[in-house]
Structure 1
């Protein structure tokens, strides 16, 4: 049998990245496509960056033909509408163009589409309804397809909801009791990849794989509390006393997450994530197991094979703290600039005047540095400009320290130690810079 070529769309994501790498290890020829790849993900010449969501049907047809594709695996998805994210465009409109491209390619191509478990009558979010719309379009297309509906995906890496659960497991906090009791059937990412490999190896006319929709998950029922408990065993925190957060705190976190989303960040705790969490993750994997013969890994096999390493523990502990670090730095720069400009302007200007600063420069310097501070806060607030803002904050802080050492050295021994405290602030900004990566 000739080597099959598989096109993986969304090859930078949690599922897409693992699938692309694993299928290559199984000796398939894999073309990984993503809008952007991190430097660490550019390990294969066959992984390419493309504005995939903006391609029309003819461009997609050309892509399929240029690489002589046999199987397309669509792992593209967005959680919630927002700047740069449109659930309808990604889940429904793009899939319609992809189906048109496959139909026009003149080649027998199978589409493997990653969707979500659940039923249409329980769909309440734009994320879920557009995912279900895509399923209906695919089912009516007439092309060979497999719709895979993974449960809660557990992978060696972590992103979004899986990262949030790891973070909870490494902390003394629990979600509210109602959320902890929701059904939450997990699946190992290895089982997803094994399923795609099974499908890719089938002949295009094989009736057992021509038009299928499967739930992929551990068949044994389990709750979110059970998943977190297993992570706690791995992290060594199972014996810790736990404090359940009130429901209003979860709702407040979702609103703050939505606000962060408007600024370009992708926090795991947003309104859609909480709504889907409360619905739970359930399904019937019997059809998948019977057709493929794959025995899904149990939760213990997924998580409990090895204790968490130090890098696992550090990531889990710092994941939710990242939001607090960024928010505190934004507040620090905005508030310090605002106070100097509007609340204590005379006192701020008086510091310069009392140390012999030229009178003509006192007001411009006070106003300029205050505006600079607030601008740094605004830059850090937006995800796209955050690296620039953090670097500017570090340079500005070093500049303040150097300027004070030259012009007002006595401020270094000021009783409240304002300049001395600038050093830890610089360290915190360096830490924030090192935590900016999402993938």
Structure 2
């Protein structure tokens, strides 16, 4: 068999990254394409940064032809609409252009499309309905295809919902009883990759796999509580007493998550995530197992067979703390600037006057530093500018400390220790800067 060339779209994501690397180990020539790749993900000349979602059908056709692609694996997806995220554009419109490109390429190309399990009748979110619209477009295209509907994906890395479940396992907190009892059939990411490799090795004219739709998940029923319990076995927290979160707290968390989503962040707890969680993850993997002879890994195979590493534990513990760190820093800068400008302006200006600043400079400096503080808070609040805001906050804090040491050294020994407390704030901003990456 000639070496097949596989194009993986969404090669920076949880599934896409693992599939890209694993298929290369299996001997395929794999092009990993994503809108952006972290520096750690650029491990091969075949890992390509490309604004894939903005490409028209003609550009996609050239991409397929230039690289002699035999299989396209579409792992692209977004959970919820927001800045830079449009479920219609990603799930439906792009798939329509991709299908046109495959048809126009003149090549025999198989499309492997990663979708979601469940029935269309239960679709309630834009995420689910647009995913299903893409399935219908693919089914009507006449192109050789496989629609894969994986269950809850368990992978060595964690992102979104999988990170949230790890965090729950690391703390003595449960979701409400109703949500914990939700059916939640998992699948190991290795089984997804093995399925794609099996399909890629099949001849394009093989009638048995020309058009298939498979649920990929372990056959044994399991609930969300069962999945979290296996993580708790790995973390050593299974015997801890736990408190169930009230339902209103889950709904409140989703609303807060929606708010931060508009600021460019992608928290796992958003209204769409909670709606899909309550819907559950179920399916029938019998057709997939019968066709491929792949024995799905069980929960015990994927979680809990070995104790969690220290990096696993640190990640799980810090994951729910990360939004609190950023929220506290945003509040710190916004409130400190607001108080100095509107609440205690005379007192703030009086400090400068009492230390010999020229009267003409007192008001401009007081107003300027207050506005600077508030601007830093706004910069940190938005995901796109958070790094700039954190660096600016560190520089400003150091400037305040060194400036006070030279001009107003007595502030270092004032009873409330305002300047002394700036040091821990700088450390917290450094921590936030180091935690900024999502992948």
What interval of TM-score do these two structures reach, taking the shorter chain for normalisation? over 0.9
Report the Cα offset of residue 19 of structure 1.
0.2
Pair 1:64 & 2:64 matched: yes
Report the equivalent of 2:50.
50
Report the Cα distance in structure 2 between the residues aligned to 1:4 and 1:136, rounded to whole angstroms.
Answer: 27
Report the Cα distance in structure 2 between the residues aligned to 1:389 and 1:234, rounded to whole angstroms.
Answer: 37
Report the Cα distance in structure 2 between the residues aligned to 1:244 and 1:419, rounded to whole angstroms.
Answer: 41
Report the equivalent of 1:356.
356
Which consecutive segments of 4 or more residues in structure 1 shift more than 3 A? none
Report the equivalent of 1:224.
224
Report the equivalent of 1:312.
312
Structure 2 gaps, min length 5: none
Report the Cα offset of residue 286 of structure 1.
0.3
Tell me the SS of whatever aligns to 2:207: coil
Report the equivalent of 2:366.
366
Pair 1:242 & 2:242 matched: yes
Report the Cα distance in structure 2 between the residues aligned to 1:276 and 1:76, rounded to whole angstroms.
Answer: 18
Report the equivalent of 1:4.
4
Report the equivalent of 2:330.
330
Report the Cα distance in structure 2 between the residues aligned to 1:254 and 1:173, rounded to whole angstroms.
Answer: 17
Report the Cα offset of residue 356 of structure 1.
1.6
Report the Cα distance in structure 2 between the residues aligned to 1:396 and 1:143, rounded to whole angstroms.
Answer: 58
Report the equivalent of 2:89.
89
Report the equivalent of 1:403.
403
Matches within 5 A, 1:99-110: 99-110=99-110
Matches within 5 A, 1:389-400: 389-400=389-400
Report the equivalent of 1:421.
421
Report the Cα offset of residue 86 of structure 1.
0.6
Report the Cα distance in structure 2 between the residues aligned to 1:173 and 1:329, rounded to whole angstroms.
Answer: 25
Tell me the SS of whatever aligns to 1:385: helix
Pair 1:301 & 2:301 matched: yes
Report the equivalent of 2:122.
122
Report the Cα offset of residue 210 of structure 1.
0.5
Report the Cα offset of residue 304 of structure 1.
1.9
Report the equivalent of 1:209.
209
Report the Cα distance in structure 2 between the residues aligned to 1:274 and 1:212, rounded to whole angstroms.
Answer: 29
Aligned-pair RMSD on alpha carbons? 0.6
Report the equivalent of 1:187.
187
Report the Cα distance in structure 2 between the residues aligned to 1:339 and 1:172, rounded to whole angstroms.
Answer: 37
Report the Cα offset of residue 305 of structure 1.
2.6
Report the Cα distance in structure 1 between the residues aligned to 2:121 and 2:223, rounded to whole angstroms.
Answer: 21
Pair 1:200 & 2:225 matched: no
1:135-179 deviation line (CA, Å, top 9, x unaligned): 011001001000000000000000000001001100111111111
Report the Cα distance in structure 2 between the residues aligned to 1:179 and 1:337, rounded to whole angstroms.
Answer: 42
Report the Cα distance in structure 2 between the residues aligned to 1:407 and 1:248, rounded to whole angstroms.
Answer: 51
1:379-401 deviation line (CA, Å, top 9, x unaligned): 00000100000000001000101
Report the Cα distance in structure 2 between the residues aligned to 1:56 and 1:352, rounded to whole angstroms.
Answer: 59
Report the equivalent of 1:432.
432
Pair 1:345 & 2:351 matched: no
1:58-117 deviation line (CA, Å, top 9, x unaligned): 110000000000000000000001111110110011001100010111111000000000
1:373-424 deviation line (CA, Å, top 9, x unaligned): 0000000000010000000000100010111111111111111111100000
Report the equivalent of 1:39.
39
Tell me the SS of whatever aligns to 1:72: strand
After TM superposition, the score normalised by the length of structure 1 is 0.99
Tell me the SS of whatever aligns to 1:214: strand
Report the Cα offset of residue 359 of structure 1.
1.3
Report the equivalent of 1:14.
14
**Worse-superposed segment, 243-252 or 291-300:** 243-252
Pair 1:260 & 2:281 matched: no
Report the Cα distance in structure 1 between the residues aligned to 2:142 and 2:402, rounded to whole angstroms.
Answer: 70
User: How many residue pairs align between the two structures?
Assistant: 439
Pair 1:290 & 2:296 matched: no
Report the Cα offset of residue 354 of structure 1.
1.4
Tell me the SS of whatever aligns to 1:436: coil
Report the Cα distance in structure 1 between the residues aligned to 2:248 and 2:397, rounded to whole angstroms.
Answer: 38
Pair 1:111 & 2:117 matched: no
